[in-house]
Structure 1
Amino acid sequence: MCLVNLQFRQHPTYKMVIAANRDEFYSRPAAAAEFWKDEPTVLAGRDLTQMGTWLGVTKKGRIAALTNFRDATNLETAQLSRGAVVKNFLTSTKSPEEYIKSIDPDLYAGFNLIIGDSTKLIYYNNIQNESYEIPPGIHGLSNHFLNTPWPKVIKGKEKLALYMAQTEKVDVEEIFSILSNTDYAPDSHLPDTGVGLDLERMLSPMFIKTPDYGTRSATVVLISHDNTLTFAERNFENGLFKEDKVFTFKID
């Protein structure tokens, strides 16, 4: 997952709105969102290489989302898959604070994690091994720290904030439209994460499309004040629309 924008506890209809894109190599196999057969309370897409996930919810309203931390000095030689961090929280009964304490940051390559539910969200980064409660408002996360002002983060936050200020009932298509933005950031606005200018430019849009890597899925999560949860996922194959999956249920 490479972009997560969210509005948290700042809307008359929704406790939480999440708009997220997952970017990955096209060749890495993944399953579309579904309630997992081996963990029936978990709703998420699934990485079929390591059997973890990047974003998911549960019937009880637990939620977790993860992005990789992009840093050329942080080589991916870690022992465990980062997708397990999301899966293990969703299948756990630990509080977010307890769960974060149980993570050994040295076992994973760099990542950012947002976990909790519609009443409380915690942000954690294993590079700094620090966490804090996310306050109400509009927030954005890509492959650096929460609210680091990368162009795609700024754009996503602004577009989501503008749309939510103008609507009482979300049209999921409008959120997917926001997530589909393919505009490149000006070179002068690009971060320097050590991967070179050409790659920084390629990774700068909200929706990434290259010959072998790009946005594989877009996800919208809505939790209303009456505890109705909507999970909508749009899947892509080689940058082209493949299918939509939509689930709606009342949180237990």
Structure 2
Amino acid sequence: MTHTGLNSCHNKGNQKITQNIVTPTMCILFLYYLPHGSYYRLIVANNRDEVFERPTEPATFWKDHSDVLAGRDLKVNNGGTWFGITVGGRFSTVTNFVTPPSGLISKPKSKGHLVIIASKSYRDGHHLNGFSLLTADLSAENKDTSLAYTCNYDTDGARVLDPGVYGLGNSLLDNPWHKVKQGMEKFSNIVKSPDSTLTDQLFNLLSDCTKWPDPNIPNIGCNEEYNNNVSAIFMKPSRDQKGRLCGTRSQTVLLVSGDGDVTYTERSLQPSTAQWTTVSHTVTLKI
């Protein structure tokens, strides 16, 4: 899950348009990437906003890719994911880029495979609706160009990022919505003075329901409640234009120490009971 070949992922605009709304599901993440020699190398907090009925497997090591630790989207053939790390130190995560109706394609491929195949030269970005992809290579031999970003609607192409704090939602990395800006400020305060409550503080941040009205968030064609909920870091469950229950269905906190020790904590919301189920994995990277 590295960034090799990501320059070639741009949308060609050559697919037939059949939908009349922008992508309705959202996600948000906050990331702190540090150079070699730091106490932490990587800290990530992620909300997956999705249809609750979409079949998903909680985070675990995959049987068919034993080096991959990730949740799994079971609706996709052979399974894809939105967030994962390998024991070799490669991290990737993908979010939707809200695509205007003129940019939607009729039979897009799944974005869930991007995280798994980001280590390869991927040349089918034009078969996907809008996405943003962040990848990091924490292996010992890769000390300089370890963090990269690409979006198939960003004309600048893939680029290497400097160490620092980043926030990514459903717009371009350099043009964040208000909720991302507000979350980045809180995230930065948390991760730059970490203590034993770091994971709990990050889950509290991911559960912030404060709405940040933003003219840059397009009307996504749903009811007013749904559209309003989109403006918060934590998206409360609400019905989309098809009557499906959507919202923040899982949250993940990933901590990678300078020694390669990983703590991966994921919790998933059961909307019928409003209860969370939590899985946690610890592993030392082979780097």
Global fold match (TM > 0.5):
yes
Tell me how far 1:246 sits from its aligned partner: 0.8
Aligned residue type for 2:132:
N
1:18 aligns with 2:47: no
Instruction: After TM superposition, list the pairs within 5 Å mapping 1:101-140 onto structure 2.
Output: 101-118=121-138, 119=143, 120-128=146-154, 130-140=157-167
Displacement over 4 Å in runs of 4+: none
Q: Quick one: which of 30, 54, 70 aligns to 1:44?
A: 70
Distance 1:151 1:40, change over 3 A: same
What residue number does 1:142 align with? 169
CA distance in 2, matches of 1:190, 1:238: 29
Deviation, structure 1 residue 163:
1.0
How many aligned residue pairs are there? 241
Q: Is the 8 A contact 1:78 1:106 kept in 2?
A: no
The answer to whether the aligner puts 1:8 opposite 2:37 as a matched pair is no
Alignment match, 1:64: 92
Is the deviation greater in 211-220 or in 159-168?
Answer: 159-168
Give the Cα–Cα distance (whole angstroms) in 2 for the partners of residues 21 and 108 of structure 1. Answer: 21
What is the rounded CA distance, in whole Å, between the counterparts of 2:275 and 2:105 in structure 1?
Answer: 30
- 1:246 is aligned to 280
> Normalising by the residue count of structure 2, what TM-score does the alignment of the two structures yield?
0.78
Instruction: Give how far 1:183 is off.
Output: 0.9
1:111-136 C-alpha deviation (Å, 9 max, x unpaired):
00011223511101112361101111
Does residue 195 of structure 1 match 2:223?
no
Name the amino acid aligned to 1:72: P
Corresponding residue number in structure 2 for 1:174: 201
Cα RMSD of the aligned pairs, angstroms, is 2.1
Q: State, as a whole percentage, how many aligned pairs show the same letter.
A: 33
| Structure (1 or 2) with the larger CA radius of gyration | 2
* Contact 1:230–1:246 under 8 Å retained in 2: yes
Shift of 1:201: 2.1
**TM-score using structure 1 length:** 0.88
Shift of 1:237: 1.8
Unaligned runs of 5+ in 2: 1-25, 239-244
Q: How does 1:70-85 map to 2 (within 5 A)?
A: 70-73=98-101, 74-85=103-114
Stretches of structure 1 that go unaligned for 5 or more consecutive residues are none
Letter of the aligned partner of 1:42 in structure 2?
Answer: V
Amino acid at match of 1:250: T
Provide the secondary structure at the position in 1 that maps to 2:282: strand
Counterpart of 2:58 in structure 1 is 32
Structure 1 residue matching 2:158: 3-state secondary structure: strand
